[in-house]
Amino acid sequence: MMKKYNFCAGPAPLSPEVYQKAAEALENFNDTGLSILEISHRSDAFLSILADCNKWVLELLSLENKGYQVLFLQGSASMEFARVPLNLLKTQAGYIDTGVWAQKAINEARKVGQVKIVASSEDKNYSYIPQGYHLPEQIDYLHCTSNNTIYGTQMNNFPDTNAPLVCDMSSDIFSRKLDFSQFGLIYAGAQKNISTSGLSVVIIHESLLSENVNIPNVLSYKQHFQHNGLYHTPPVFAVYLTWLNLQWLIQQGGVEAMEKINRQKAAMLYQEIDNNYLFFGTAQKQDRSLMNVCFRLVDENLSTQFDRFIESKNITGIQGHRYVGGYRVSLYNAVTLSDVEYLITCLKEFATEQS
């Protein structure tokens, strides 16, 4: 079978090793004669997987023994847009607006309580990360989005705030080293650097596990914590895929090693886009994302021809988001250096054909 080069923004590719082991478990999990899809979520085998995932997430983020808990929940980041304010918003929350996903989180929070937009980059079509803003004193939490897949921007510095810092890391968790202890709550949809869709991972400090009796139990972080992640049947296969992928990540050398490779991949591709006369990047250089490289054709009339060329090269998933158009190459952890080198070779070839 001919190799496809997938640079999709999500669901994203995982390592072939992960796929192989997952495929084996679909037929016969751990020589039990059962598929991973039919094992009990209360079996010793699954409880061991869940415990490993909790342990490895905290170790990879250097959060072990620092008062954090990990929850593997049905849903997505969009579910957390609502669940965060339902659990944490009592009077007013602060939000940093860096694009569509931040806006969606803001809109959900407004259904729960007052929201203060602390900063926004909407004035320049979200092509940069706002800096130098004033932080209000009386807020229950401050919410930010670490990486903006649609616009190709990424936060490199996070606000120093007395309020708990909540971060949507759906598209860049496990991709680079940070001081993760600066966050009170981190959440991520799983379908990029973690697992497959249908799962959200929440890393929450124990100090934020307060009970809000006015929300349904199924939406309460504390309820899920008190039931050890088994308040209802968790997405077993997605958690198992997380288990496999976390093992793979550890084998690669962890987050630090992954960051080194990710920086190489991004630097190579940005250099080609900056030097290739047919293309230009859309994000301001100081805020360019390591995960999502967004660019456009200088001559939009070449778009159909370029699309056909890319398809002929077995490259898929580089169309920009429907809100903004253009092109977007996603460089999540499982995308290899050789994948990026191949793409760059193709971009050069297309430029030569047009010269």
Cα–chain center distance at 12: 10
pLDDT for the residue numbered 101: 98
What local confidence, expressed as pLDDT, does residue 1 receive?
A: 67
How is the chain split into domains, by residue range? 16-252, 254-354
Q: What's the CA gap between 163 and 283, in Å, rounded?
A: 29
**pLDDT computed for residue 213 by the predictor:** 76
* Distance (Å, whole) CA 79 – CA 63: 24
Report the alpha-carbon distance of residue 64 to residue 61 in Å, rounded: 8
Annotated binding-site residue? 101: yes
Domain 254-354 falls under CATH 3.90.1150.10 = yes
pLDDT of 211 reads: 76
CATH architecture assigned to 16-252: 3-Layer(aba) Sandwich (3.40)
DSSP string, 154-171: E-SS----SSPEEEE-TT
Place of tokens 């932080």: 135
- What pLDDT score was predicted for residue 322? 92
Stated as kind and residue range, the H or E segment containing 104 is helix 100-110
Q: What amino acid is encoded at 64 in this protein? A: E
Tell me how far the alpha carbon of residue 25 is from its chain's centroid: 25
pLDDT for the residue 2: 76
The response to whether 191 counts as a known ligand-binding position is: yes
Which amino acid belongs to residue 344? I
Q: Active-site positions? A: 101, 168, 192
Q: Is 322 known as a binding-site position?
A: no
How far is Cα 240 from Cα 220, in angstroms, rounded to an integer? 23
168 labeled binding residue: yes
DSSP 290: S
Contact status, residue 259 vs residue 64, Cβ threshold 8 Å: no
User: What does DSSP assign to residue 288?
Assistant: B
Please list the pLDDT of the chain residue by residue as tens digits (355 residues): 678 999 999 999 999 999 999 999 999 999 999 999 999 999 999 999 999 999 999 999 999 999 999 999 999 999 999 999 999 999 999 999 999 999 999 999 999 999 999 999 999 999 999 998 999 889 999 999 999 999 999 999 999 999 999 999 999 999 999 999 999 999 999 999 999 999 999 999 999 998 777 899 999 999 999 999 999 999 999 999 999 999 999 999 999 999 999 999 999 999 999 999 999 999 999 999 999 999 999 999 999 999 999 999 999 999 999 999 999 999 999 999 999 999 999 999 999 999 8
DSSP string, 14-63: --HHHHHHHHHHHH-GGGSSS-TTTS-TTSHHHHHHHHHHHHHHHHHTT-
